[in-house]
Amino acid sequence: MKATIWHNPRCSKSRETLALLEEAGVDITIVEYLKAPPTRDELERVYRRGGIHPRDAMRKDAPKLADDGAALDAMAADSALIERPVVETAKGVVIARPPERVRDIL
């Protein structure tokens, strides 16, 4: 199985999720989204695929925005607003908080 993780190595939840993927023997593509930010279109595609409302995909300390379009624009402009880690496999997309949520798509 293959997985892509939007990862921040400084985040303990992201590191825990990555460890769970490694333990499961998954072929992992690691995207350090702070260094290589996703585009608005990529954000929209991933969240739509996961059934995730973009406003729900923003960090809890991010500004509260009126609609999902504004949330996508904000995250595309500042990737630090993206709640992490985001994991995508052939079975779906999750925001792995808690990290064990990643098992839902393995």
Q: Please state the domain extents for the chain.
A: 2-105
Q: Is 86 exposed, middle or buried (0-12, 13-18, 19+ CB in 10 A)?
A: buried
Neighbour order of strands in the sheet with 86-89: 27-32, 2-7, 86-89, 92-95
Q: What is the pLDDT of residues 9-36, one digit of tens each?
A: 999 999 999 999 999 999 999 999 999 9
pLDDT at 6 > cutoff 90: yes
pTM recorded for the entire structure? 0.95
Nearest to 88 by CA among 104, 100, 77, 76: 104
Q: Provide the percentage of residues in the chain whose pLDDT is more than 70.
A: 100
Average pLDDT, the chain: 97
Question: What is the predicted pLDDT for the residue at 66?
Answer: 87
Lookup: tokens for 49? 């695929």
- Residue 11 among the catalytic residues: yes
Choosing from 1, 2, 8, 11, which is the catalytic residue? 11
**2-105: CATH class:** alpha beta
